[in-house]
Amino acid sequence: MTETVVHVTTLEQWKSVLDVWFKQGYAWPAGDKKYSAEIFESGGRFLFLGDYITYSMSNPDSKPFIEFSEFMEQQKEDNKMEKVYEVSQSVFDELQRIKAHEGISLIGAITLNAQFIKSINVGKKAILRYLADDPAIEFKVKEQLYRLSGTDEDDDEVYMTFNCGIPTWTYIKDNAFTAPLEEIKKWQTPAWEIEKVGE
């Protein structure tokens, strides 16, 4: 990966760059996602992004860097590019039916399905752009996730989770380990039943 180097001059700029990178899934070498304001206060002015985030008080090796304003401009451009929305199979099928608008105009199909369109948990503009064949907007079927459930000795429902990388159980459904079916099957034992997330 090509390293990105951003020069910042204020703590707010420091936090803004980190916000963007944290949202993209990057972290500091130790894996944490903290602002670490003390690093900025002690002179850290250059943020580096490779496989993870690092910093420096200077720009070693005179690597090409960009100013904060340039970085934010790039983010705006990136955000204007293609957007992909994940929806359930049934919502996707219904959108395809509306998009085909057989026998009526697209506006007619949208009007007839206004309530359904309104019910989708995505911005209305994005849906309308998609139905009008805007290549920057894409809808795809959300990958179905699964979890493992079972019962404890008191017949209470429990779910498989991990603690420090070791499989264990939890009573809290939202804390269960979830993954696509193939991955879940790797962890299934006779004690665990596979169930769909969302049920």
Q: What per-residue confidence (pLDDT) applies to 1?
A: 47
Asked if residue 89 and residue 69 are part of one domain, the reply reads: no
| H or E element that contains 193 | strand 193-196
Alpha helices in the chain (DSSP H): 11-23, 37-41, 68-80, 89-100, 106-112, 114-119, 124-131, 181-187
Q: What per-residue confidence (pLDDT) applies to 81?
A: 53
Asked if residue 150 and residue 102 are part of one domain, the reply reads: no
Asked if residue 112 and residue 45 are part of one domain, the reply reads: no
- How many Cβ atoms are within 10 Å of 180's Cβ, its own excluded? 11
What does pTM read for this prediction?
A: 0.42
CA nearest to 53, candidates 34, 78, 77, 76: 34
Asked if residue 159 and residue 137 are part of one domain, the reply reads: no
Asked if residue 59 and residue 11 are part of one domain, the reply reads: yes
CA nearest to 64, candidates 108, 123, 6: 6
Domain boundary residue, one of 96, 122, 141 = 141
Q: Tell me how many domains the chain contains.
A: 3
Report strand pairing: 83-87 vs 66-67.
unpaired
Range of the domain at 87: 83-141
Residue 76, SS3? helix
Domain boundary residue, one of 122, 141, 160 = 141
The DSSP secondary structure of 80-135, one letter per residue, reads HS-EEEEE-HHHHHHHHHHHH-TTS-HHHHHHHTHHHHHHSSS-HHHHHHHHTT-T
Asked if residue 191 and residue 159 are part of one domain, the reply reads: yes
Asked if residue 103 and residue 160 are part of one domain, the reply reads: no
Q: What per-residue confidence (pLDDT) applies to 98?
A: 92
d(CA 166, CA 103): 57
d(CA 186, CA 169): 16
- Can you give the pLDDT of all 199 residues of the chain as single tens digits? 457 899 999 999 999 999 888 888 888 988 889 998 899 898 889 999 888 899 988 876 667 888 988 988 887 766 655 688 888 788 899 999 999 888 889 889 999 998 988 888 887 888 888 898 887 788 888 888 899 999 998 989 999 998 877 888 899 988 889 888 888 999 999 989 999 887 5
Q: What per-residue confidence (pLDDT) applies to 122?
A: 80
Cβ partners under 8 Å of residue 172, min gap 6? 159
Asked if residue 122 and residue 62 are part of one domain, the reply reads: no
Asked if residue 90 and residue 73 are part of one domain, the reply reads: no
Report strand pairing: 53-56 vs 193-196.
unpaired
Asked if residue 96 and residue 32 are part of one domain, the reply reads: no
Asked if residue 76 and residue 16 are part of one domain, the reply reads: yes
Asked if residue 166 and residue 102 are part of one domain, the reply reads: no
